[in-house]
Structure 1
Amino acid sequence: MSVYSMTGYATVQSSTAQSALETESSPDANSRLGVEIRSVNSRFLDLAFRLPDELRQAEPALRELLTGQLKRGKVEVRVSLESTSASNLRAPSSATLQRLGSLEDSIKSWLPQAAALSVADVLRLATNEDKKPHDHSPELLKLAKKTLTELMAAREREGARLADMLLDRTGQLRALAKLAVPMVPKLVEQQKARFLERWKEAMALSESATLPEIAQDRALTEATAFAIRIDVAEEITRLSSHLDEIDRLLADGGELGKRLDFLIQELHREANTLGSKSASLELTRISVDMKVLIEQIREQVQNIE
């Protein structure tokens, strides 16, 4: 499966043309329908619809369509409907004009001061009277499916880019861990030598004198305690295990954003522990570099579905 980003954008427009009979009876039969879908990251799936009033009835079907493919993200769906007819002005039918005249006479009999209908009023009322609404729902759903397909393709392309970036960062973390492993034994040997030297100075022994066995044992004990205190083998092992799991999830794809979030927290914990055990400037720098890389991973994981 692919890795999908929660960030994406797609828009599709289509002209809907009806028959001559439908066009004659419905001035908006020839129209341009547009669907725009944009999405950004979110912890859950959050859908928002911006639909014209005449298409409100299609919202449940659109919601079902989107929830069937999208799992997370803040998604906004905008639908536009524009008439492409040369003119919406049509000659009112005789029946319509007769009905408007009758209504006007009836109103004036009760309200003599009422203003007479203007030509603009007649055209507007006659257009609404003659208009037979056209159901655009089938065209809308068909166009929404196409737009959703393009959105998923955009999210997949962005997801592939994010996956490549994450794999690059996990590779850098492994390289830093590899640098840290041989530093600990070297530090232990250096500390052991320091302990022995301090014991020599404390006992005011010359370089030719033989260090008492008890002093050597004490130095070895101190060196062993120091080695245990700065040992980061477990942290490096766990960190490598987490990195392997991240690589596996990226290879498998699918809905993995929340699992990656958990693994990033574990990586932060191991890097912090490594830094707290640091007994040299080099190890401290490695810990800091790891934290920088992990933070870069965390920022990008927020965009993965």
Structure 2
Amino acid sequence: MVHSMTAFARAERAGAHGTLSWELRSVNHRYLEPHLRLPESFRDLESAVREALRQNLSRGKVECTLRFDEANAGKPLQIDRERTTQLVAVAESVAALIRQPAPINPLEVLAWPGVLVADVADPQALNAEALGLFNEALTQLKAGRAREGAELARLLEERLDAMLSEVAALRQLVPQMLAAQRQKILERFRELQAELDPQRLEQELVLLAQKSDVAEELDRLCTHIAEVRRVLNASGAAGRRLDFLMQELNREANTLGSKAFDPRSTQTAVNLKVLIEQMREQVQNIE
């Protein structure tokens, strides 16, 4: 079963000390590329989050954002007096070096990290809760990628069916097209009233048939289509393998077009290339 690289997940949990929320967004990318946005007090989680992503995802650019809204309503604000005193002293020392310093703004002092003392829970317990919530969000993200992957697989299967129909129709037409081409050459010679060497003419017709023989390309197209279906139904990451198979399908369609000697075979080659390009665009989103 294939998975998409595009998905979104959000998980939120309210507790005694505030509300934790994770937002995970993933888009297609050649490799697994995590981008983490964590509050400073949760930086210790970074390695665990990266490892969880590595264990569960193979490819995709994944943005992980953690927010923590502290529940401080109704609680008195407290300051770290020692840190505040040090901060003011340093500010006054700097002001002494300036000719006309601006007065110290108390609100700017309060905004300095560590001045306000928050009533928070045990950091280790809060980190464990945040990591558990992240795993919930990651499970949601994987489920979303699986659902979209199933839809991508369905779209690819539809186009594979269309390709097989094109190949089957051309197989039936090839003998008719070769016979028509043979008759056209014979009529051209008769119009020119040229003296025909039957043996030489037969050699030329055989050579034309060989150059126009597309059975090998049609067989390889069927083989690649079967392989695409096998990869779609297999487990594990499939995007790179499918991308390679799209290149091989396109190669056979190009060869088919170069051998075309009838408008119907030319149209078949064009139709196949359109279907392959549609699949290639979808494959770019598969993990």
- Cα distance in 2 for residues equivalent to 1:118 and 1:185: 91
Quote how far apart the aligned CAs of 1:191 are: 2.3
Where does the alignment leave 5 or more consecutive residues of structure 2 unmatched? 97-102
The 3-state SS of whatever aligns with 1:11 is strand
> For residues 16 and 132 of structure 1, do their structure 2 counterparts lie closer, same or farther at Cα, with a shift above 3 Å needed?
closer
The 3-state SS of whatever aligns with 1:5 is coil
CA contact (8 A) 2:239 2:284 kept: yes
Residue 304 of structure 1 corresponds to which residue in structure 2?
286
CA contact (8 A) 2:109 2:115 kept: no
Alignment of 1:68-87 (within 5 A): 68-87=55-74
Quote how far apart the aligned CAs of 1:185 are: 1.6
- Cα distance in 2 for residues equivalent to 1:126 and 1:52: 14
Quote how far apart the aligned CAs of 1:72 are: 0.4
> For residues 100 and 246 of structure 1, do their structure 2 counterparts lie closer, same or farther at Cα, with a shift above 3 Å needed?
closer
| Structure 2 residue 116 is the aligned partner of structure 1 residue 128 | yes
| Structure 2 residue 259 is the aligned partner of structure 1 residue 277 | yes
> Which amino acid is the alignment partner of residue 178 of structure 1?
A
> Which amino acid is the alignment partner of residue 231 of structure 1?
D
The 3-state SS of whatever aligns with 1:191 is helix
Quote how far apart the aligned CAs of 1:43 are: 0.6
Alignment of 1:1-305 (within 5 A): 2-17=1-16, 30-90=17-77, 128=116, 131=119, 134-135=122-123, 136-203=126-193, 215-305=197-287
- Cα distance in 2 for residues equivalent to 1:300 and 1:73: 14
> Which amino acid is the alignment partner of residue 167 of structure 1?
E
CA contact (8 A) 2:39 2:66 kept: yes
Aligned length: 275
The 3-state SS of whatever aligns with 2:223 is helix
Quote how far apart the aligned CAs of 1:85 are: 3.0
Quote how far apart the aligned CAs of 1:64 are: 0.8
- Cα distance in 2 for residues equivalent to 1:82 and 1:260: 44
- Cα distance in 2 for residues equivalent to 1:126 and 1:286: 71
The 3-state SS of whatever aligns with 1:68 is helix
Q: Which runs of 4+ in 1 moved over 4 A?
A: 115-122, 124-127, 129-133
Quote how far apart the aligned CAs of 1:125 are: 10
> For residues 224 and 57 of structure 1, do their structure 2 counterparts lie closer, same or farther at Cα, with a shift above 3 Å needed?
same
- Cα distance in 2 for residues equivalent to 1:59 and 1:202: 83
- Cα distance in 2 for residues equivalent to 1:285 and 1:191: 17
> Which amino acid is the alignment partner of residue 10 of structure 1?
A
Post-superposition CA distance 1:210-260 (Å, at most 9, x none): xx8x63323322221111111100000000000000011111232111110
- Cα distance in 2 for residues equivalent to 1:100 and 1:260: 59
Residue 208 of structure 1 corresponds to which residue in structure 2?
none
Post-superposition CA distance 1:9-62 (Å, at most 9, x none): 100110122xxxxxxxxxxxx110011111000110001100111111110111
Residue 99 of structure 2 corresponds to which residue in structure 1?
none
Quote how far apart the aligned CAs of 1:127 are: 7.3
- Cα distance in 1 for residues equivalent to 2:268 and 2:18: 63
- Cα distance in 2 for residues equivalent to 1:119 and 1:167: 63
Where does the alignment leave 5 or more consecutive residues of structure 1 unmatched? 18-29, 205-211
CA contact (8 A) 1:192 1:219 kept: no
- Cα distance in 1 for residues equivalent to 2:75 and 2:32: 41
CA contact (8 A) 1:188 1:223 kept: no
Post-superposition CA distance 1:131-163 (Å, at most 9, x none): 566312101110000000000000000000000
CA contact (8 A) 2:7 2:145 kept: yes
> For residues 238 and 219 of structure 1, do their structure 2 counterparts lie closer, same or farther at Cα, with a shift above 3 Å needed?
same
Q: Root-mean-square deviation (CA), in Å?
A: 3.2
Residue 207 of structure 1 corresponds to which residue in structure 2?
none
- Cα distance in 2 for residues equivalent to 1:73 and 1:254: 14
Which structure has the larger Rg?
A: 1
- Cα distance in 1 for residues equivalent to 2:206 and 2:35: 62
Quote how far apart the aligned CAs of 1:189 are: 1.4
> Which amino acid is the alignment partner of residue 128 of structure 1?
L
> For residues 196 and 134 of structure 1, do their structure 2 counterparts lie closer, same or farther at Cα, with a shift above 3 Å needed?
same
- Cα distance in 2 for residues equivalent to 1:137 and 1:242: 49
- Cα distance in 1 for residues equivalent to 2:240 and 2:216: 25
Q: TM-score, normalised by structure 1?
A: 0.80
